[in-house]
A and B are shown apart, each in its own frame.
Chain A
Amino acid sequence: MNPHAPGANPAADIDLQPVAPGSERGSLVALIQDLVFTVDHKKLGLMYFGSGLLFFVVAGIMAALMRYQLAIPNHGFLEPDVFNRLFTMHGTAMVFLVGMPMIFAFANYLIPLMIGARDMAFPRLNAFGFWIFLFSGILLFFSYIAGPGLYDAGSAPDVGWFAYSPLTARAFSRGHSTDYWTISILLGGIGSIATSINILVTIFCYRCKGMTLGRMPLLVWLYIVVAFLVVIALPPLSACQIMLLLDRFLDAKFFDTQAGGDAVLWQHFFWIFGHPEVYILILPGFAIASEVIPVFSRKPIFGYPVMVAASVMIAFISLGVWAHHMFAVGMTSFGNTFFAISTFLVAIPTGIKIFNWLGTMYGGKIRLRPPMLFCIAFLFQFLIAGLTGVMLAVAPFNWQLTDSYFVVAHFHYVLIGGLLFTIFAGVYYWYPKCTGRMLDEKLGLWHFWLFTIGFHLTFFPQHIAGFLGMPRRYYTYDAGRGWDEWNLISSIGVVIQAAGILFFVYNLLHSYFKGAKAGDDPWDAWTLEWATTSPPAEYNFEKPQVVRSRRPLWDLKHPDDPDWKYE
């Protein structure tokens, strides 16, 4: 019960601070004040999630518009420029304004709880990271209004989410749309780096007593890897954005090919960020799966040290594979071979992880509740994404597949089938912790089945359209090239996906008010966040926690057979 509710405790109503009219506790103004001024890691986590969800819906609607345009050949629904802006904004928003805040949402909310800390190491830096992210997102979308600038040319950016130069040069991108894009990315990068440094310091310095590195939940371990990758990979991105700004405003010649600049230079900078970025986004997915799968299989994670080692290995390898995005730009045969080999190497640790998850489930008692269903679907879809990734790594095959719809299908299997499904799993799993109420199971099943079916219907046919030579980023195509039916199926799938998302959003709102009471530990789980109340108090734990194994709550529940005996 809320102790500040009127009448509950008259003494609590007495406040020494002057209260502006309309800002009484519980009012909308008070809520906004609370959100703006807060430095609490849990509130910031939820704010990351909320704004990420908002951008997700906007960028998802953009995707739906594009799929409507492509449902039939020679469809006149969207003009070419409008379509080009849509896919640029969709891609940029999904990566930088949905993927990044979503992974930071889970990091913020869970890491201090899981390591028994009271907050992040630098709470105000944490709030700074969030607000600068939100500002960068608003700035990006503001380009729709302000992008024309003085030249009355352009609107939102239309250069694609990886904005290959020299298309971004002033000769080819007039007006200010590209400037909005690049400044937005630059700012978002600052926020991401700040948050990642915060994550690293928190994990290294604020673990509770007894929590050695080897006893941390896998999620925490994976976020160390992610945060390191962010700190290493984001600076090249910021560097090339600054170079682009210099090119556009001060006539520097980094990428200006007509003055001797180099178009491929941009690609190297971008992908040395861009490929680690894929792992920055997918490793948190692995992290969530590594928490959910053990709890719902009723077994500890299979091969914890190997799982950690595999994650670190993935991170290392991912720093040396970037040019596999560039097999078609005309590298030497040596360069192509090198990057093909380094890319194949990623398959090894990734394979280990998939098998270890299966090993965790093997011999368990699998509870097929919504979080677990999403994780099982994740395993299946990530398997497909991994295998299409292997195909793309075969450089000669890549010369056919790259920049076709096959690639579009591949990375949507990674980012939706991999990341988004685990995010859903995470939401169903931790929603009770955040709100004190369970998400509705029936609505959850509707969400799961609709979204899964819609997802495969949308993206599987795109593999085949790619095999038949359909390039990506086409606002229209001719009938009779074998692409029509695949595009139509793909567009139908979107409707089903959207229905799934509606169930999800409705469930979030409905269960907040009407969901069943959750209690502190509804899943009978083992990590520290379940040792405190739901939702946790602002100080997280009443007493400092002490752990003796990777599953402190297991030890508590099974004093006769605790984990620490075996570790």
Chain B
Amino acid sequence: MRIKGLVFFARICYLPCTVNAAAAPTHDSVVKRAGAAGGWKFAARIIVAISLLASGAFAQTTIPETDPPLRPIQNMFEPLSTPALKIHETSIPVLLICAAIFCVVTTLLVFIVWKFRQRNEEDRHVEPPQVYGSSHIELAWTVIPIIITVVLILITARTIGEIQNAKIPDDALRIRVIGHQWWWEVHYLKQNENGEWVTDFIAANEIHVPVGTREEPKMTHMILESSDVIHSFWVPQLAGKTDLVPNRKNELWIEPWATGTYLGNCAEYCGTQHAKMKIRVIVEEQDVYEAWAQNQRTPPPPPPANVALGHKLFMDYACANCHTVDGTIADGVFGPDLTKLMTRRTLGSGAVDNTPENLFKWVRDPQAADMKPGCLMPDMKMLDSEVREIVAYLETLK
């Protein structure tokens, strides 16, 4: 899909432009993986890397080596999970049919315009034979589209059933994803003694799921809900998008077979910061996932003495009204649960990388142009010294 020359052209063109340095969490990994790619790809990535360096966007390293590879380019024709694969397999015959129609009709059009164009002025005075129609020909070009349509209907109906009516296996990981303006609340579910699915632990914005194989898939089943307006969950390499509609429970399932950090987006316009309501799905080996989940379940220890002031400020200021930290009086539900904040790679639902500098800038003023202007967390007008204390406290939440 990528044309290398154009990449180069594009980079050259915008080198002198201003780019927000902080708001680009993905570049470093693009570069890091360059060595593994083939010759041409490698060359293209080098160009990308150089131009990013030059544009100042190449600021921090945030994805630790142990993380699964970043998958920033979500080409829907390179599926890595069952529903996305089924869609891909449906789309190929559709694309072929469309391409064939396109070629036939365009050829006809060009041929007709070329062959029957008026060539000179004398030509002008003699009218061509006047033909009013032909029922045989018209019948032919009615029947052919009908046949094509029937084929398309059969292909489509089958895939709809396969994806929407799939059975949820017993070993599926079940989660609830709740859309908020402009972030994602994620409940990992477990079955209680009555067989009901209840919350095991809560995460936000970054969804860790275990990987399967194509032979033995591991399903993650999501219930999609919304607390305010309509959002849409879309990670193209994993599945098609499904909306999160308030008052409804929609479903989505994925069966990824390749580890990776998949980038996705909210795909239904949901207000000011729709563009920075990003999704990360981290697909990892079962044991890595288990370790992560176990850590998420573990209640945090009481705050160490050296961050007691930050802890107090957090609880005294309005922070605690919107955010939850397990084991403290902070139990707000308007913003993301911060109990395990430092296990996340990004802040503000993918707005910026979760680095100490960014965390400081975020707490001081999330409305800044290089953070997430318009997000529902206000500028608290705190002193820098207070912000530093609070950040020190937040950094213990892992």
Contacts and interface: CB of A to CB of B under 8 A. Distances in A.
23 contacts: A72-B14, A80-B273, A80-B374, A263-B230, A297-B116, A299-B130, A302-B134, A303-B132, A330-B245, A344-B152, A362-B112, A365-B128, A380-B109, A393-B156, A395-B159, A396-B160, A397-B91, A400-B76, A400-B87, A473-B269, A476-B23, A479-B27, A488-B10
Contacts of A399: 87, 163, 239-242
Given A337-B156, A340-B157, A476-B275, A345 B247 contact: no
A164 interface: yes
Contact of A471 (B73, B77, B229, B267): B267
Interface residues of B, number: 115
Nearest to A561: B130
Q: From A299, A305, A396, A477, name the one whose CB has the most chain B CB atoms within 10 angstroms.
A: A396
A37 interface: no
Contact of B72 (A166, A464, A481): A481
A472 B232 CA distance: 12
Interface residues of A, number: 106
A368 B23 CA distance: 51
A213 interface: no
B70 to A, nearest CB: 9
B77 A467 contact: yes
B18 A364 contact: no
Q: From A347, A362, A480, A566, name the one whose CB has the most chain B CB atoms within 10 angstroms.
A: A480
B371 to A, nearest CB: 12
Nearest to B375: A80
B199 interface: no
A306 interface: yes
The 5 closest A-B pairs by CB, nearest first: A399-B240, A469-B74, A303-B133, A330-B250, A257-B246
Interface string A384-399: 1001101101111111
Given A387-B101, A472-B269, 7 more contacts: A75-B19, A263-B230, A302-B133, A359-B137, A383-B102, A394-B156, A399-B239
Interface in A255-299: 257-258, 260-264, 297-299
A183 interface: no
A139 B18 CA distance: 37
B362 to A, nearest CB: 17
A169 to B, nearest CB: 8
A76 B275 contact: no
Q: From A262, A341, A364, A479, name the one whose CB has the most chain B CB atoms within 10 angstroms.
A: A479
B265 to A, nearest CB: 5
Contact of B132 (A73, A354, A566): A566
B112 A479 contact: no
Interface stretch (B141-149, B212-220, B386-394): B141-149
Interface in A311-359: 328-330, 332-333, 336-337, 340-341, 344-345, 347-348, 351-352, 354-356, 358-359
B130 A384 contact: no
Nearest to B31: A480
Given A72-B14, A363-B131, A403 B251 contact: no
B272 A354 contact: no
B2 A488 contact: no
A348 B146 contact: yes
Given A348-B142, A400-B236, A479-B27, A383 B17 contact: no
B94 A480 contact: no
A419 interface: no
Interface string B251-262: 100000000000
Contacts of B230: 164, 166-167, 263, 329
Interface string B338-358: 000000000000000000000
Contact of A469 (B24, B159, B265, B272): B265
B149 A468 contact: no
Contacts of B272: 80-81, 84, 158
B372 to A, nearest CB: 9
Nearest to B18: A76
Interface string B13-43: 1100111100111110010000000000000
B307 to A, nearest CB: 32
Contacts of B203: none
Contacts of A158: 271-272
B19 A72 contact: yes
A364 to B, nearest CB: 5
Nearest to A524: B124
Contact of B109 (A84, A344, A358, A479): A358
Nearest to A470: B265
A305 B139 CA distance: 13
A76 B369 contact: yes
A382 to B, nearest CB: 10
Given A72-B14, A482-B75, A328 B102 contact: no
Contact of A396 (B138, B144, B159, B269): B159
Contact of B138 (A75, A303, A344): A303
Contacts of B7: 484-485
A472 B13 CA distance: 24
B300 interface: no
Contacts of B264: 469
B72 A480 contact: yes
B229 A167 contact: yes
A273 B346 CA distance: 41
